[in-house]
Amino acid sequence: MIRIGRCCLLLSLLTCTPAKSEDGPEAGSADPAAQFSRKVLLRQFDRNRDGRLNDKETSVLRDAFGGIDVPMLPDESYDYTHVDRPGSITPEQLRNADNTPEGNPLTNPGATLGRVLLYDRQLSENGAVSCASCHDQKAAFADPRRFSIGFNGERTRRNSMGLTNIRYTHLKGRRPGFFWDERAPTLEAQALMPIQDEIEMGMKLKDLNKKLGKLPYYPPLFAAAFGSTEITSERIARALAQFMRSMVSLRSKFDRAAAAAAEKDDNSTDFDLFTAQENLGKSLFMEGIGGIAEFGCAVCHPPPTFNMDKAQNVGLDLKYRDKGLGALGRQSNEPFTPSNDGKFKASSLRNIALTAPYMHDGRFKTLDQVVKHYSSGVQPHPNLGLAPREEEFGAPGTGFHLSKDEQAALVAFLRTLTDDQFVSDPRFSDPFVRAPH
């Protein structure tokens, strides 16, 4: 078996079917990547037949593939295309917010390839980091570290961003870009940037295509996703974008409570399934502080996606060291702000309790600190976003002036946006058989 596995690396990949004699049907089945299915790999390497690979068996498998990490994929593809939509959200709402381009529809083989790419350290120059090194499923695909560490041990300039519901960013007719400063116009364009980034992964795209072509699992995965084994940067970008778009999270306490209220056709603002504190937080978030909608959090982080439609300045500093959108040299994105300095676009607030630390520079460790900032820490920056600059709210540029109870209520509300299934969903988990340590 081991010898056959080694030969697999030497022979042309599609014709080589190490499991053919034993596994007949699936080796020659329609799915070109079936040779990396759990069933086929276990049949070859699970010597003691206990349905899993122990350390020894893992080592044997890895040796058979020349000592590299290989993916072990589900026997039947996971379903990435179905969206579990709660009753409180209409199909139209999701359709309008969806940033999927016509040329890159979400498919199961495409997302499966994207999953392997996102977890593959071979995408970095020296094999040290994968996308997932800085986008950890347990942290809703953000990084618990204030700054992430790239392939060469250097720190990133900004805090990593969560990827929850990154598919639903089209809001109020706007198509915001990706990253804190919106510099990537589409998710497809975004996906190739970290790969080439000098701090993050340090790869040249043309070297990457060659490198991936030599790994046994990619030609069949590309064939399954795109109809041929050809590996191009465009295909890599499309698959990564498909997988990221499959990371939909609409199963939080907030969704259950909103769906229950919608079912009862109960338009009253309080949710039965929320505590009084959560309802107070919801009201402050949605209806605004002092009952004035313009002064609510939802103006900038609107439900049900809780994504932002554009970069804004929230007065973290009077002078920003990192100018965010302002460094890109574009005209101001708001008529009432002189420039774009200090403007940033946060990702979705869904799963926000899991993505600490917060803000583009990860300066706040807790949600309490974030809310305290909005309450009393806002600096009167000339580019400050609409809500906290209003003089009606007391001194301009000092924040929303929330009581301690109100601050705690906002944090309690933010915690209802956590989707525990999302962070343990096997569809989004690491597919690789890693070396035992």
Q: Which residues bind ligand HEC (CB under 6 A)?
A: 118, 123, 129, 131, 133-135, 148, 150, 156, 158, 160-161, 163, 166, 178-181, 190-191, 194-195, 200-201, 240, 244, 297, 299-301, 312, 314, 316, 344, 346-347, 349, 352, 355, 358-360, 367, 370-371, 374, 385-387, 400, 410
Q: Which amino acid is at 309?
A: D
- Give the integer Cα–Cα distance in Å for 258 and 270: 9
Compare residues 197 and 425 and give the one whose CB is closer to ligand HEC.
197
Compare residues 65 and 178 and give the one whose CB is closer to ligand HEC.
178
Taking residue 267's Cβ as centre, other Cβ atoms within 10 Å add up to 7
Instruction: State in angstroms the smallest separation of the CB of 32 from ligand HEC.
Output: 23
Compare residues 107 and 190 and give the one whose CB is closer to ligand HEC.
190
Instruction: State in angstroms the smallest separation of the CB of 435 from ligand HEC.
Output: 20
Instruction: State in angstroms the smallest separation of the CB of 235 from ligand HEC.
Output: 13
Instruction: State in angstroms the smallest separation of the CB of 399 from ligand HEC.
Output: 9
Instruction: State in angstroms the smallest separation of the CB of 22 from ligand HEC.
Output: 36
Q: Is the peptide bond before 357 cis (omega within 30 degrees of 0)?
A: yes
Compare residues 208 and 261 and give the one whose CB is closer to ligand HEC.
208
Compare residues 8 and 257 and give the one whose CB is closer to ligand HEC.
257
- Give the integer Cα–Cα distance in Å for 161 and 179: 8
- Contact between 324 and 312 under an 8 Å Cβ cutoff? The reply is no
Task: State the angle between helix axes of 233-245 and 187-196 in degrees (0 to 180), rounded to the nearest 10.
Answer: 120
- Give the integer Cα–Cα distance in Å for 291 and 296: 8
- Give the integer Cα–Cα distance in Å for 217 and 117: 11
Compare residues 64 and 123 and give the one whose CB is closer to ligand HEC.
123
Measured in residues, the chain has a length of 437
How is residue 84 written in tokens?
Answer: 């579990």
Integer angstrom CA distances of residue 29 from 41, 75, 168: 15, 12, 35
Instruction: State in angstroms the smallest separation of the CB of 275 from ligand HEC.
Output: 17
